[in-house]
Amino acid sequence: MTISMTRRGVALLAASVALLIATPVLAQNSIKFGYAISRTGPNVGGAAVTTIPNYDLWVKEVNAAGGLKIGDKRLPIEVVHYDDRSNAEEAVRAIERLINQDKVDFILPPWGTGLNLAVGPVLNKAGYPHLAATAVTDRAPELAKRWPNSFWMLGASSDAARTLVELLVKLRSEGKIGDTVAMVSVADGFGIDLSAAARPALTQAKFKLAYDKTYPVGTQDLAPIVNEAKALNPDVFIAFSYPPDTLGITEQSRIAGFNPKVFYTGVGTAFPLYKQRFGANADGVLGIGGWSGDSPAIKDYLARHKAANDGKEPDRWASAVTYASLQMLQQSIERVGKVDRAAVIKELQTGTFDTVIGQVKLQNNMPTRYWWVGQWQNGEFYGVAPTANDGAKAVAVPKPGWKAP
């Protein structure tokens, strides 16, 4: 009798344990996503245009459809988010909090190269997919190997620099520009990486780098930099800048009458704010990014983004890439059919995805097609390089003169 009762007890205990193990899965009625994003500090301009509206749009659209399809049912998305204050240490703390305290199922990335590099080790150690949709770094191929959970959606800075220099070589061969280049860069991940890649590319192409200046993040007075560059009368001006600097450099150049044949600025050139701020003066300005503005998928995305964000437009570079990365994550989760982060990472590595930027299949955790140079033309920021990309517009050089505001 004692043996019989013991066996029964063991069976009951085993059944109870099995029930306890299964209960969280059976009882799960939502998928919890978390992210840390810059709602204050110098990164807020980029995050507020490129990242936050796309996270909001995607969550809204998925939940309106009933949620993510997990097996034979749909589960709505629940969101937990924190302000990383544009600070690497704060971003890391927030990500650790999401993992250890909030125990979110998936984590969306922060804005910007520097913060994605900062949180990368934490996400890798915890086994979370890391779709870095706003980071440009020459370390991307190396990091994709070191952190196989990470996906570098904007590519490597050497590719960005090489594509820009190839375009400059083409313009020079056509007799549209000369050899003299002035370059400035922000002293943060993006500016450091892009300028480091551009220097040897320009030298190899036999351009004369007459001015090469780095400035701290958050620099307010950009007039000295613009005036120093203007004094050298370069054919080409390149600024690997963040959004506040991009606006400030453009405004100071207009005030100073600095109007080189090629005027190229960094992050923020593709923002709708750039067009709103400078109006007709935006025409002819080159910058990083671009998109296929005449694509039906992009036009549909633009309309949905505006409808969900009180008429506010996305930027013409990383916004669409960010949304595409969310589509890829969604399709991966739904194909796996459960909250299995390792399986989702594997699907991201090997799958093919239909997105607003076209069909995407990653190679070594990176896309194979990018827009590296765009230009404002008649109110739209079109991709102009690589010139072999479908939908690439012909670049218009020289830049028109500045008009009175």
Res 316: pLDDT: 96
Res 103: pLDDT: 98
Cα separation, 120 vs 124, whole angstroms? 6
pLDDT tens readout for residues 191-208: 998 999 999 999 999 999
Cα separation, 390 vs 393, whole angstroms? 9
Q: Which residues contact 404 (CB under 8 A, 6 or more apart)?
A: none
> What are φ and ψ of residue 38, in 5° steps?
-80, 100
pLDDT tens readout for residues 50-86: 999 999 999 999 999 999 999 999 999 999 999 999 9
CATH number, domain 31-155+296-361 = 3.40.50.2300
374 neighbors 381 (Cβ within 8 angstroms): yes
Question: Residues 20, 22, 27, 29: is their CA dihedral positive or negative?
Answer: positive
pTM for the whole structure: 0.84
Res 27: pLDDT: 59
Judged against a pLDDT cut of 60, whether residue 121 lies above it is answered with yes
Give the lowest-confidence range in 43-47, 49-53, 74-78, 348-352.
43-47
pLDDT confidence band for 354 (50 / 70 / 90): very high
Residues of the chain with CATH 3.40.50.2300: 31-155+296-361, 157-290+371-385
% of the chain with per-residue pLDDT over 90 = 87
Identity at 5, one-letter amino acid code? M
State the CATH architecture for 157-290+371-385.
Answer: 3-Layer(aba) Sandwich (3.40)
- For 196-256, the DSSP string reads HHHHHHHHHTT-EEEEEEEE-TT----HHHHHHHHHT--SEEEEE--HHHHHHHHHHHHHH
Judged against a pLDDT cut of 70, whether residue 1 lies above it is answered with no
> What are φ and ψ of residue 188, in 5° steps?
-145, 175
Judged against a pLDDT cut of 50, whether residue 344 lies above it is answered with yes
pLDDT confidence band for 10 (50 / 70 / 90): very low
Cα separation, 240 vs 246, whole angstroms? 8
